[in-house]
Amino acid sequence: MKKNVPLDVSYRLINHGPVVLVSTLYRGRPNVCAAAWVTPVDLNLVLVVISRENYTARCIQSTGEFVINVPNHTLRQKVVACGSVSGERVDKFARFGLTPEKARKVGAPLIRECIGHLECKVIKGEERLSRKYDIFLARVVAASAERGLFSTHWLPRMPAARTLHHLGGKRFALLSGKVVG
């Protein structure tokens, strides 16, 4: 069961640098791609780098919206799969067994199997960033996370809160262990 996360702590869903699944909706078709180059740049501003070679970049350019979904370690193979095939002609939700779910504030879908979600709208007037550097700067307009795995931060002692951290290629480190401080 998911709960809404207040916007002023929503950056904590990705503060620790997990690999994410970026979902979009373009011309009525949902799509998803893996992304490691994603970071908060303010309490409710995020930056994602999506290569212009990827169909996802075109979807975001056209709609100005996307969702950052946080997968846990059980989705590793699906993350690699979503990062290895283009969604231009393939329905990756159907092919890789992911479930699109209605978001609160954007047209792009949430991915039900993920443990956290940031609904994002691209900041108007900053399109030069994507044209020049493949960067999308976006405002988080809604956030949610799996109840019991996120309080005011992730609870990585819970096995289901263990996120994936991209080491390169098909290798990942897992968030695990206790929180100190």
Where do contacts with ligand FMN occur on this chain (CB under 6 A)?
19, 31, 33-37, 49-51, 54-56, 79-80, 83-88, 166
- CB nearer to ligand FMN: give 8 or 91: 91
Q: Shortest gap between Cβ of 86 and ligand FMN (angstroms)?
A: 3
Spatial distance between the Cα atoms of 41 and 28, rounded to a whole number of angstroms? 30
Closest-by-Cβ residue to ligand FMN is 83
Phi-psi region of 115 (alpha: psi -120 to 50; beta: other; left: phi over 0): alpha
- CB nearer to ligand FMN: give 5 or 36: 36
Task: Return the SS3 of 88.
Answer: coil
Q: Shortest gap between Cβ of 85 and ligand FMN (angstroms)?
A: 5
Spatial distance between the Cα atoms of 7 and 145, rounded to a whole number of angstroms? 12
Q: Shortest gap between Cβ of 159 and ligand FMN (angstroms)?
A: 21
- CB nearer to ligand FMN: give 85 or 155: 85
Q: Shortest gap between Cβ of 45 and ligand FMN (angstroms)?
A: 17
- CB nearer to ligand FMN: give 85 or 141: 85
Q: Shortest gap between Cβ of 97 and ligand FMN (angstroms)?
A: 16
CB distance 29 to 116 below 8 Å: no
- CB nearer to ligand FMN: give 37 or 155: 37
Q: Which of 48, 19, 40 is nearest to 134 (CA)?
A: 48
Spatial distance between the Cα atoms of 65 and 80, rounded to a whole number of angstroms? 23
The residue whose two tokens read 């699944």 is 21
Spatial distance between the Cα atoms of 73 and 57, rounded to a whole number of angstroms? 25
